Structure 1
Amino acid sequence: MTDDDHMRAAIALARTQLGKTGLNPSVGCVIVAGGAVVGQGVTQAGGRPHAEEQALDQAGEAARGAVAYLTLEPCGQRSTGTASCSERLVASGIARVVIACTDASTYASGRGTERLRTAGLKVELGLLETEAGSLYADYQPPRT
């Protein structure tokens, strides 16, 4: 399967929760290691847990050296004060993160991707951005 195929799978996951995630956007995450899906998640009802948390929990040690496909930039800070998704991705040992869309939220807005890059992860932005972007047409990100 290609990067496009894995991102389309993440987009399909995100579509399943549209309108059910409260103020949070519905995000899809697929983690692939050695060509096989080892973890996947989607933002749950009310906005918690986040897609990345579920996918990383499912992947466990298989996340080391793997690729994460995200429909939206991972959070760089959590409103709850717990570890952000970008912190969790770094700690998991993920090697590469492919992101469809950036997030203008004050909790993300480049902070998540910057943390990933600073930690040495390969980050790619914009894969299937138009297709994934339709998921967020009505999303109103929090701003300060």
Structure 2
Amino acid sequence: MNNRPSRRRDRRRMNRALGLARLNQGLTGVNPSVGCVLTDADGHVVGEGVTGIGGRPHAEEVALQQAGDRARGGTAYVTLEPCRERSQGNKSCSLLLREAGIARVVCAVEDPHPVANGGIRALRDAGIDVQIGLGQRSSQQLYKKFFQSIL
């Protein structure tokens, strides 16, 4: 297997990320329940995560801890834009993905939250290929209340 982009593979991975996000829907406090699936450079799944109950840890953190070094050169599938900043001062998810050596991010929707928004820009500025929109309709439905709470 290789990690060349494949629409079919991308859809499967994003559908899995959406399924993970639904697991903790309504259990993450003010944070949205995000799903994340990580693949290695060959396209094999090496990590999965969902936002923890109460809102922490973030899905990307969980998936990266599971994947370890195997994430280098791989792809992250996330249901919501990886955060640019964290409200409590921890490393942002966009920074964690960069540090892990992720080569590509497939993101369903941008995060309108003023602290989180900008993660995509930070990833692109670091030379990471970012694609937005796969799973957009499902994610917008999943995050409808969250989006309404901040807009």
Structure 2 Cα separation of the partners of residues 123 and 130 of structure 1: 18
Map of 2:13 onto structure 1: 6
Equivalent in 57, 60, 69 of residue 61 of structure 1? 69
Structure 2 Cα separation of the partners of residues 102 and 115 of structure 1: 13
Q: Post-superposition shift, 1:35? A: 2.5
Map of 2:59 onto structure 1: 51
| Runs of 4+ more than 3 Å apart | 140-143
- SS of 2:120's equivalent? helix
Equivalent in 85, 89, 92 of residue 100 of structure 2? 92
Q: TM-score, with normalisation over the residues of structure 2? A: 0.90
Identity, % of aligned positions: 51
Matches within 5 A, 1:1-144: 2-33=9-40, 34-109=42-117, 111-140=118-147, 142=150
RMSD of aligned residue pairs (Cα, Å): 1.2
Gaps of 5+ in 2: 1-7
Structure 2 Cα separation of the partners of residues 16 and 114 of structure 1: 28
Contact 2:43 2:74 in 1 (8 A): no
Gaps of 5+ in 1: none
Q: TM-score, with normalisation over the residues of structure 1? A: 0.95
Q: Post-superposition shift, 1:142? A: 4.7
Structure 2 Cα separation of the partners of residues 18 and 80 of structure 1: 22
